[in-house]
Chains A and B, each alone.
Chain A
Amino acid sequence: MTLSSLRQQFLSGETTPAALLRQLAGDIAARDGTTGAYLSHDLETALAEAEKADLSLPLGGIPIGIKDNINVLGQPCTCGSRFLSENYTSPYDATVIRKLRAAGAIPFGRLNQDEFAMGSSTENSALQTTRNPVAPDRIPGGSSGGSAAAVADGTAIATLGSDTGGSIRQPASHCGVVGLKPSYGRVSRYGLVAFASSLDQIGPLTRSVEDAARILQAIAGHDPLDTTSLDEPVPDYVSGLEEGVAGLKLGVPKEYFGEGIDPGVRAKVEAAIQKLAAKGAEIVEISLPNTSHAVATYYIIAPAEASSNLSRFDGIRYGRRAANPSDILDLYKKSREQGFGPEVKRRIILGTYVLSSGYYDAYYGRAQKVRALIRRDFEDAFRHVDAIVSPVAPAPARRLGTCADDPLQEYLSDIFTLSANLAGIPGISVPCGVTDFDGGTNLPVGLQILGPHLGEATLLRVARAAEA
């Protein structure tokens, strides 16, 4: 069921937004006990909004699930953390929510995630386990694991996630759905609980490339409340979707097909690239020579920014406050000790360390320079090619609970997605088949397509050709 077919059903009276919401709530009751994608959902509020829905609007009456780090007025916003799981209700709508409402959509349901979006499995949620609907013994990926799992499980039509280092694309790949990270600055971050402000971006997870284009159309654009949102025109993302790839040049980065990639993933991605070639795309090998530095660069910059952003969680204004503190410092320390889980603490400590006196230049300053080199790699590549194609993740979804004590190994698996965030360019994951892996069968594989900054229209066109 795509957005456009749903809209037709609404307009013809075949079904109504209220009936659809009741059906989704029934599906959540029936299936989400196992999947665990939803942390909460508020059917009553959504039904009241459905009654007023203007079906003539582009997303009129369409319910959209929301990752639990995006503020929706009157709803919880836990960020998958014990810090915010009690006594926090959003006092305002994020800009993306205001824009979705202006396009007629209805925010419905709060989706599980790694705590404060730190992780690649959703296992770092302090609140709930989310399972991959395709293989319930496996992770859905992360950090937007709930957003991907709900779409894959059919308990959501489409969802919003956030992507700081792959957190939309990797779970989309693992669950077999489409996930789009827009260019940095394409979508307002106002109302997204910040993890790493120079990397974070909100985007859609959907059942089709066309649906992703329609949601991007609704949420893109400048916002006076986010200075990093760009004042650039928003093109029509839907009209060119069927233009095909004939005459386009697609780059295959040799660094993305080296050691460590699962043979099943490699075969599926290479077959997808051959399909694009058969449709008329010219395939050329390219080099992104600084790829091997991406993980180290990211795991300096992202924790540094996180340690600063998460200092707002101090136990004073909202969220958890420790009982019986001896003084104000004790209140900060105890509230944060009780409220944050291990991955969040690890990254805050790492970020504080790389920003601390005597280490700042060696770590953070140097990482910013390497980041510039990574950005240059892409600028050079896009002088010769229209888009870049690669795997999303080196392997399909692993089993739940198999990486808990080794955070570095988990970080290394982000290798193919981090660079897009460091360079600020858009990326999309499109399903390109299934493979067997580590005792599991028919596990989804995603094809990643990367485009130049603000090149979403071309990206979506290639993605549509890969999907069709």
Chain B
Amino acid sequence: MSQSHIDVRYVANLARLELTDEEVAVFQPQLEAILGHVDALTKVDVSGVADSEAGPLRLGRMRDDVPHESLPAEAMLRNAPDQAQGQIRVPKVVTDA
């Protein structure tokens, strides 16, 4: 840890965000300030914490694995930005060979 430099545009691409140059200029110092603060965790002694204790919180009961009614396709398609023939339409994802 202990390095608060972040390549904002590289990480934004991982997150599928297209940022403007202005946004990168604003976010860069803000994110570095935040990372500078969280770097303090390097000084915390966590040697007494087992990996198992750092896992997720206690879970409830899993439901039985039996088929049940789902929302109808029409209900889901109503919110789709573009649709045709009972399916969501998206831009072409393959290019010609």
Q: Which of B6-57 contact A (CB under 8 A)?
A: 6, 8, 11-20, 23, 26-27, 30-31, 33-35, 37-42, 44, 46, 49, 53-57
Q: Choose one: B54, B56, B79; the contact of A91 (CB below 8 Å).
A: B79
Q: Which of A312-348 contact B (CB under 8 A)?
A: 314-321, 325, 327-334, 336-337, 340, 342, 345-346, 348
Contact in complex: B17, A356 (CB < 8 Å) = no
Contact in complex: A297, B17 (CB < 8 Å) = no
Q: Choose one: B40, B49, B75, B76; the contact of A293 (CB below 8 Å).
A: B40
Which residue of B is nearest A333, CB measured? B18
Contact in complex: A231, B12 (CB < 8 Å) = no
Could you say which residues of chain B place their CB within 8 Å of the CB of A329? Answer: 16
A349-B71 CB under 8 A given contacts A328-B93, A371-B54: no
Bound CA span A345–B49, Å: 32
Which residue of B is nearest A346, CB measured? B27
Could you say which residues of chain B place their CB within 8 Å of the CB of A373? Answer: 44, 46, 49
Q: Choose one: A88, A185, A198, A351; the contact of B79 (CB below 8 Å).
A: A88
**A407 on the interface (CB 8 Å rule)?**
yes
**A158 on the interface (CB 8 Å rule)?**
no
A interface majority secondary structure: helix
Q: Which of A352-377 contact B (CB under 8 A)?
A: 352-353, 356, 359, 362-363, 365-373
**B97 on the interface (CB 8 Å rule)?**
no
Which residue of B is nearest A197, CB measured? B56
Q: Size of chain B's interface in residues, with CB distance under 8 A?
A: 54
**A261 on the interface (CB 8 Å rule)?**
no
Contact in complex: A92, B88 (CB < 8 Å) = no
Bound CA span A92–B31, Å: 37
Could you say which residues of chain B place their CB within 8 Å of the CB of A366? Answer: 1, 41-42, 44, 46
Contact in complex: A408, B30 (CB < 8 Å) = yes
Q: Choose one: B11, B49, B62, B91; the contact of A353 (CB below 8 Å).
A: B11
Contact in complex: B17, A348 (CB < 8 Å) = yes
Which residue of A is nearest B64, CB measured? A224
Bound CA span A411–B88, Å: 39
Bound CA span A406–B30, Å: 7
**A184 on the interface (CB 8 Å rule)?**
yes
A346-B31 CB under 8 A given contacts A185-B60, A373-B49: yes
Bound CA span A198–B56, Å: 7
Bound CA span A225–B69, Å: 12
Contact in complex: A368, B76 (CB < 8 Å) = no
Could you say which residues of chain B place their CB within 8 Å of the CB of A352? Answer: 11-12, 14-15
**B81 on the interface (CB 8 Å rule)?**
yes
Could you say which residues of chain B place their CB within 8 Å of the CB of A92? Answer: 71, 75
Q: What distance in Å separates the Cβ of A258 from its nearest Cβ neighbour in chain B? A: 16
Contact in complex: B44, A408 (CB < 8 Å) = no
- How would residues 404 to 418 of chain A score, 1 for a CB under 8 Å from any chain B CB and 0 otherwise? 011110010000000
**A300 on the interface (CB 8 Å rule)?**
yes
Could you say which residues of chain B place their CB within 8 Å of the CB of A331? Answer: 90-91
Could you say which residues of chain B place their CB within 8 Å of the CB of A89? Answer: 78-79
Bound CA span A393–B53, Å: 29
**A23 on the interface (CB 8 Å rule)?**
no
Bound CA span A329–B13, Å: 10
Q: Choose one: A296, A319, A325; the contact of B40 (CB below 8 Å).
A: A296
**B84 on the interface (CB 8 Å rule)?**
no
Q: Choose one: B23, B63, B76, B93; the contact of A317 (CB below 8 Å).
A: B76
Contact in complex: A368, B54 (CB < 8 Å) = yes
Contact in complex: A349, B31 (CB < 8 Å) = yes
Contact in complex: B90, A345 (CB < 8 Å) = no
Q: Choose one: B39, B60, B91, B93; the contact of A227 (CB below 8 Å).
A: B60
Contact in complex: A300, B38 (CB < 8 Å) = yes
**A222 on the interface (CB 8 Å rule)?**
yes
- How would residues 62 to 106 of chain A score, 1 for a CB under 8 Å from any chain B CB and 0 otherwise? 000000000000000000000000011101100000000000000
Contact in complex: B88, A317 (CB < 8 Å) = yes
Which residue of A is nearest B1, CB measured? A362
Could you say which residues of chain B place their CB within 8 Å of the CB of A369? Answer: 46, 49, 53-54
Contact in complex: A424, B57 (CB < 8 Å) = yes
Which residue of A is nearest B27, CB measured? A346
Q: Which of A283-312 contact B (CB under 8 A)?
A: 290, 293, 295-297, 299-300, 307, 311
Q: What distance in Å separates the Cβ of A308 from its nearest Cβ neighbour in chain B? A: 10
Bound CA span A316–B90, Å: 7
Bound CA span A317–B76, Å: 8
Ordered by A's residue number, 10 sampled pairs between the chains whose C-beta atoms are within 8 Å are A293-B40, A293-B41, A293-B44, A300-B38, A307-B15, A318-B79, A336-B15, A349-B17, A366-B44, A372-B54
Q: Hey, which bits of chain B sit against chain A, CB under 8 A? A: 1, 6, 8, 11-20, 23, 26-27, 30-31, 33-35, 37-42, 44, 46, 49, 53-63, 71, 75-76, 78-82, 88, 90-93
Q: Which 9 A-B pairs have the closest CB atoms?
A: A321-B81, A333-B18, A318-B79, A369-B46, A368-B54, A224-B63, A362-B1, A91-B75, A296-B38
New A-B contacts (9) at CB < 8 Å, excluding given A91-B79, A222-B60, A349-B31: A87-B81, A198-B56, A299-B34, A300-B38, A328-B90, A328-B91, A349-B15, A362-B42, A411-B37
